[in-house]
Amino acid sequence: MDVERGRRVDSIDGLHLAKIKESLDSFHSVLEGQNQFGIYQIDDDTLSELEHQVDFVDNQTLKNKYHIPNPYSFTQSYDATVGSRQGRARFRLNQAFTGNRKLASDLNGKIDIMFSELMRKFDALSEHIKRLDGQVAENATAIKREAGRLHGGLTQIRNVRLMPCY
């Protein structure tokens, strides 16, 4: 009976352990392939190099050289040549940073979900181990009791020793 119970527990545990292993493997693959999602680290040196390459123009310089249209006017005329290279570069940088923040928050959310799921499974496994530990202790005391008793009791053992051997 205990062997059957052990097999049943092993099959149930195997299923849970397989699910845990699968979720850990998928999490590991996400971490290994995080650059496929477009998460890139841009350090300060690279950012300053990008700023120099893009040749950002501050707003005061634009006011002195070019006419800046009123943003509240419906009839604005835009000059496509003014700041087009800088505008595209800024747009791309902002898009990259926004994408990184969004993907990082999505990844953090997924990590939090996986962590809470693993903690829930760990708690269930801990409770299961405690129950199994209690069953092992009960079985050990039952075996000790059975080993202490022999059939017929103590009087038969004494009689066997006192009988002459022929």
Question: Would you call 107 helix, strand, or coil by DSSP?
Answer: helix
Question: Which pLDDT value is given to residue 99?
Answer: 77
Residues of the chain with pLDDT under 70: 1-13, 24, 26-84, 148-166
pLDDT digits 0-9 by tens, 64-73: 555 555 555 5
Query: How far is it, in rounded angstroms, from Cα 25 to Cα 147?
Result: 48
User: Quick count: other Cβ atoms within 10 Å of Cβ 53?
Assistant: 9
Query: How far is it, in rounded angstroms, from Cα 36 to Cα 25?
Result: 17
Question: Which pLDDT value is given to residue 1?
Answer: 46
What are the angstrom distances between the C-alpha of 100 and each of 31, 37, 42, 49?
Answer: 15, 9, 10, 19
pTM: 0.33
* Number of domains forming the structure of the chain: 1
Question: Which pLDDT value is given to residue 104?
Answer: 84
Question: Which pLDDT value is given to residue 33?
Answer: 55
Residue numbers of the domain that contains 29 = 2-162
Look-up: residue for tokens 């760990």? 122
- Is the CA virtual torsion 157, 162, 163, 166 positive or negative? positive
